[in-house]
Amino acid sequence: MKNFKKLEEIKTPFKKAVVTIGNFDGVHIGHQSLLHEVIEKADKIGGTSVAITFDPHPLMVLRPDKRPPLITLYEQKAELIEKSGIDVLICIPFTTDFASIPAKSFIEDLLIKKIGMKCMVVGEDYTFGKNREGNISFLKAYSEKLDFEVVITDWKKMPSAAEGRISSTKIRDLVTKGKMVEANKLLGRHYQVRGSVARGRNRGGKLLGFPTANINLHDELCPKKGVYAVNVECLGNTYKGVANIGYSPTFDDHLFTVEVHMMDFDENIYDQKIRVNFVRRIRPELKFSSLEELSDNIREDIKVALQILN
C-alpha cells in the first residue's frame, strides 16, 4: 500500500481511482466491509482502490470540547487499512482552512483533478465540504456533470437489529464500560493499546512476586478500570498476560497506571514499545487489606486469565 501523508506528495492522478473517505476510527467491521467494496469495484474496472482519512480527527480542530477519545491512532489505523488490501491511503492534515473548502471544489480540484476519481463509495449519510453542504444528492448531481460513479453502501448492522448500525461511538462506549468481548466482535479483532514501558514504583516483582511492565499509553481510549486477560506483543513475540488498569487502591497512592504482567517472561524491556490486546475483563479493581491478600488475588487472576486465553 502507498501511504501519502500530504496531498503535495501526489504527483499524478491515480488510474481510475475508486475512492472512499472517512475518519475510519477503529477500522471496525463496518469500515472493513466498506473498504472491501472499494477494492472489489477497483478490481472490476481495472482501477486503484483509494482510502482518504484525516489527522487529526476533524472534531479536534472544529470542536475540541467534543472530540472523542480515539480507538486507533494513525499508525495503527494505517496498518489496519493496509491489511484490508487497499492500494492507496491518503491522510489529509485537517485544518480550519481545509474545513472551509466548498464541496464543489473538494470534488473537482481534489478528488477529480488531483486523485483521478472515477467512482466514490460512501455510506448513505455521508456529508463533506464547508458546512457539510455536500451530501448524497449533491454527489449524484455532480457525478453526471463530472463523469464519475457514486456507490452507496448499506451500513453493517449490529447483532441486534434494535441497536442500529455498527459505529465507532458504540465501540468507544463498550470499551469504556469494560465490555471487551462485545467490543472485539464489532472490531473484528482484540482492542489494542500501544505504549512504551516506563519505570514504575518497583513493587510488582519485589513486593508482590509478580513483575509488571508499566505502560505510558499512546492511545487515547483506555478501557474501564479493572483486571483483564490480555495478549502482549513484545520483542517480536506474543505473551499471555494480565493487565491492571486503575489507581492501585491497596497502596492508596492515587496514581493512575496501566500495568501488565507477562507470563513466562523475564527480560528488561524499559523504553520498549509493546502492544496489549484486551481479551476479557476479569474483575473490577479492588482494595485489599494486605499485600499478601493482593498477591493471592493476583495469583487467582492469572489462573482465570490462563483459562480465558488457552
- Is 178 strand, coil or helix? coil
Query: In terms of domains, do 206 and 298 share one?
Result: yes
Residue 202 is predicted with a pLDDT of: 57
Q: Is residue 179 part of a domain?
A: no
Residue 293 is predicted with a pLDDT of: 87
Choose the final residue of a domain: 95, 124, 153. Answer: 153
User: Residue 291 is part of which domain span?
Assistant: 190-309
Q: CA nearest 186: which of 198, 170, 199?
A: 170
57 pairs with which residues across the strands? Answer: none
Give me the helix-helix angle, 29-45 and 74-84, nearest 10°.
Answer: 50
Are residues 223 and 191 in contact, defined by beta-carbon separation less than 8 angstroms? yes
Segment holding 62, helix H or strand E: helix 58-62
Query: In terms of domains, do 149 and 206 share one?
Result: no
Segment holding 233, helix H or strand E: strand 226-234
Are residues 47 and 18 in contact, defined by beta-carbon separation less than 8 angstroms? yes
Residue 158 is predicted with a pLDDT of: 79
Are residues 45 and 18 in contact, defined by beta-carbon separation less than 8 angstroms? yes
Q: Is residue 51 part of a domain?
A: yes
Positive or negative, the CA dihedral 297, 299, 305, 307 is: negative
Query: In terms of domains, do 129 and 194 share one?
Result: no
Amino acid at 114: K
Query: In terms of domains, do 6 and 107 share one?
Result: yes
Residue 160 is predicted with a pLDDT of: 65
Q: Is residue 178 part of a domain?
A: no
Query: In terms of domains, do 79 and 146 share one?
Result: yes
Query: In terms of domains, do 140 and 38 share one?
Result: yes
Positive or negative, the CA dihedral 204, 207, 208, 209 is: positive
Q: Is residue 168 part of a domain?
A: no
Are residues 48 and 18 in contact, defined by beta-carbon separation less than 8 angstroms? yes
Q: Is residue 121 part of a domain?
A: yes
Q: Within 10 Å of residue 45's Cβ, how many Cβ atoms?
A: 13
Q: Looking at residue 292, which CATH number applies to its domain? A: 2.40.30.30
Choose the final residue of a domain: 136, 153, 170. Answer: 153
Query: In terms of domains, do 133 and 204 share one?
Result: no
Q: Which residue has the cell 448492522?
A: 157
Amino acid at 67: R
17-21 and 257-262 beta bridge pairing: unpaired
- The helix/strand count (H/E) of the chain reads as 9, 12
Query: In terms of domains, do 205 and 295 share one?
Result: yes
Residue 2 is predicted with a pLDDT of: 97
Q: Is residue 23 part of a domain?
A: yes
Q: In the structure grid, which three cell numbers stand for residue 9, read together?
A: 506528495
DSSP notation for 275-303: EEEEEEEEE-----SSHHHHHHHHHHHHH
Q: What is the spatial distance between Cα 260 and Cα 252, in angstroms, rounded to a whole number? A: 19
Rg (CA), the chain: 23
Residue 133 is predicted with a pLDDT of: 85
Choose the final residue of a domain: 99, 132, 153. Answer: 153
> For each successive 10 residues of the chain (310 residues), what is the average pLDDT?
96 98 96 97 98 94 90 96 98 94 94 97 88 88 93 83 82 97 97 88 56 82 96 96 86 80 91 96 90 89 97
Query: In terms of domains, do 23 and 113 share one?
Result: yes
DSSP notation for 86-133: -SEEEEEEP-HHHHTS-HHHIIIIIIIIIT-EEEEEEETT--BSGGG-
Positive or negative, the CA dihedral 293, 295, 301, 303 is: negative
Q: CA nearest 177: which of 221, 223, 110, 137?
A: 223
pLDDT per position as a tens digit, 190-229: 999 999 998 765 554 444 568 888 998 876 799 999 999 9
Cβ neighbourhood burial of 159 (10 Å; 0-12, 13-18, 19+) = exposed
Query: In terms of domains, do 139 and 8 share one?
Result: yes
Number of structural domains found in the chain = 2
Query: In terms of domains, do 197 and 132 share one?
Result: no
Q: Is residue 225 part of a domain?
A: yes
Q: Is residue 297 part of a domain?
A: yes
Query: In terms of domains, do 118 and 254 share one?
Result: no
